[in-house]
Amino acid sequence: MSTVPTSIVLVDGEHYPPVTARAVARMREAGEHVVLALLVGGGEKLGTRALDLGVPVRTVNDPERALAAAIVETGATRVLDLSDEPVLHNTRRFRMASIAVWRDASYVGPDFVFTPPRRTPVRGAASVAVIGMGKRTGKTAISGAAARAYRHAGLAPVIVAMGRGGPAEPQAVAADAGLTPETLLEWADRGRHAASDHIEDALTTGVPTVGTWRAGGGLAGAPFHTDYDRALEKAVGLDPNVLVLESSGASIPPAAADATILVVDVHIDPVDLYGYFGLYRLLLADLVVLTMCEGDEGRRRAEAIEADIAEHCVTRPDTVRAVLRPHPLADVAGKQLWLATTAPRQAGPTLAAHLEHVHGAHVVGISHALGDRRQLARDLGERAPETDVLAVELKAAGVDVVTRFGAEHGIETVYVDNRPLTLDGDTLEPHLLSVAHLARRRHASAGEERG
């Protein structure tokens, strides 16, 4: 026998109570099973009598926390927004929508519907999702650091990477695949995207990876099309005891991960972090890694974000501040080195100093145009022939432009990983391991409940 979905209705005191009561009655006549009304603000039209809407009414001071609790309490699967400006203005509406979607309830208004993204339960292994607010925030670096930390701790991780340049069929790359520049060039010549994230992950972590594609991305991170379920099956078939689910851009893997790491560039516009569905991503997070925390400005931005998370986010996730530093995957000490990177131009001096002081290279040039093939080719032609080593991230045009240039000009190509460090220069391993342990506890608990 089918059950009628239960609903919570959001109302305000800027409407006359009889009008609100009439609207709630119409909703119920139309088949809505309204179990609770939340009075989320406003008082201009309210009198001294209790608001009679034919359903229980709860007056709340903190609508977001109240809605989160009410959905759990009532089991509601729909939130009906009967409020309006000025009580629920656009920003607050998106925040309320984030709360509803996070609690697996649809958020419905007169001309909009937001539905929870499909997130398939992950069976066979504990899972840690690494998600972000957008492109080039450091998700691949954090995913790689997590996988290395889990491998060093004696776990058996497998990475599942979803990307806009992912393969047409889910593609596994072994940890010992022999990913040399020559191999990657051969793959590129055969039409394969040899710089796809899952290949970079395998190269930089020594961990098996599975890659898949996605197209499009919704406000709450759902991809329009993807082959993710099949990629997940292939990954579980590799017998991991922890999966690292790496996201793509602002899209989120369509899997109900046991724990989640959110990567946030501290230079993000606060509106994107706390408005729209940025809050939804924060609510999913058990750990927030703040990246690009360079210098005084980076520290100030990190402090502001941490304060805002404490104020605005119902769940209060842990945070850690980090910077990304280049780590060549071969010895470059004493060599003339030219670097191709996706990092912004202002990061150039810091990257060069790290390569020189930590890795002993002599940096003769940097191109920040790894994602712009035409400019990258011009940069290579100007400075690269003077070098011993072309150092390049395995991203964007790293294979088809930089690696090919090296092969054609007899210059050694060395791939570079971006490794996260805390502001004190320590690794993130303790923070990343704590998330893995949390994921494994939750996965075991869920297994006991299913059993």
Nearest alpha-carbon partner for 436 in 245, 168, 224: 245
CA distance 352 to 358: 10
Instruction: Report yes or no on 157 lying in a domain.
Output: yes
**Could you tell me if 271 and 156 lie in one domain?**
yes
pLDDT of residue 2: 45
In a domain, 448, yes or no: no
Same domain, 17 and 142: no
Do residues 389 and 281 share a domain?
no
Predicted pLDDT of residue 322:
97
Handedness of CA 36, 41, 44, 49 (dihedral sign): positive
CATH code: domain of residue 379: 3.40.50
Q: Which helix (H) or strand (E) holds 97?
A: helix 90-102
Measured CA to CA, the distance from residue 246 to residue 154 in angstroms comes to 21
Mean pLDDT of 195-221: 94
Long-range Cβ pairs for the range 55-59 (8 Å, 24+): 55/9, 55/24, 55/28, 57/11
Residue 268 lies in a domain: yes
Identify the burial level of 349 via C-beta atoms within 10 angstroms of its C-beta, where 0-12 means exposed, 13-18 middle and 19 or more buried. exposed
Give residue 414's pLDDT.
Answer: 97
Nearest CA among 15, 106, 100 for reference residue 66: 100
pLDDT tens figures, 24-79? 999 999 999 999 999 999 887 787 777 899 999 999 999 999 999 999 999 999 99
**Residue 421, token pair as written in the block:** 């460090």
| Among 114, 132, 161, residue at a domain's last position | 114
Pair 262, 345 in one domain: no
- Are 253 and 124 in a shared domain? yes
Q: Name the domain count of the chain.
A: 3
Q: Is residue 311 part of a domain?
A: yes
Instruction: Give the CATH number, domain containing residue 26.
Output: 3.40.50.720
Are residues 92 and 221 located together in one domain of the fold?
Answer: no
Q: Could you tell me what percent of the chain has a pLDDT over 90?
A: 84
Give the least confident one: 131-135, 145-149, 297-301, 443-447. 443-447
CB neighbours (10 Å) of residue 331? 12
**pLDDT single digits (tens) 151-174:** 999 999 999 999 998 999 999 999
The pLDDT tens digits of the residues spanning 301-348 come to: 999 999 988 887 888 899 999 999 999 999 999 999 999 999 989 999
Q: What integer pLDDT is reported at residue 134 of this predicted model?
A: 87
Last residue of a domain, one of 69, 85, 114: 114
Q: What pLDDT sits at residue 368?
A: 96
Domain at 169, CATH number: 3.40.50.300
Q: Is there a single domain that holds both residue 11 and residue 85?
A: yes
Q: Per residue in 399-430, pLDDT tens?
A: 999 999 999 999 999 999 999 999 888 899 99
Domain annotation covers residue 401: yes
The DSSP bridge pattern shows strands 33-39 and 57-59 to be parallel
> What whole-number percentage of the chain has pLDDT above 70?
98
Q: Determine the average pLDDT of the residues in 72-90.
A: 95
Whether the pLDDT of residue 449 is over 70: the answer is: no
- Alpha-carbon Rg for the chain, nearest whole angstrom, is 25
pLDDT of 3 reads 66
Whether residue 335 sits in one domain with residue 314: no
Vertex 418 angle, CA 413 and 422, to 5° = 150
Q: Quick one: pLDDT at residue 85?
A: 92
Give yes or no for residue 450 having a pLDDT over 70. Answer: no
**Do 283 and 153 belong together in one domain?**
yes
In a domain, 33, yes or no: yes
End-of-domain residue from the set 74, 91, 114: 114
In terms of residue numbers, what domain contains 370?
326-420
Q: What is the pLDDT of residues 354-372, one digit of tens each?
A: 999 999 999 999 999 999 9
Is 430 found in the same domain as 317? yes
The 3-state DSSP composition of the chain as helix, strand, coil percent (nearest 5) reads 40, 25, 35
Q: Is residue 1 part of a domain?
A: no
pTM of this structure? 0.94
Helices (H) and strands (E) in the chain — how many of each?
Answer: 14, 21
Residues 135 and 14 grouped into a single domain: no
The pLDDT of residue 21 is above 70: yes
Q: Has residue 367 been placed in a domain? A: yes
Same domain, 355 and 279: no
Predicted local distance difference test score (pLDDT) of residue 392: 97
What does the angle CA 356 – CA 358 – CA 360 come to, to the nearest 5 degrees?
A: 45
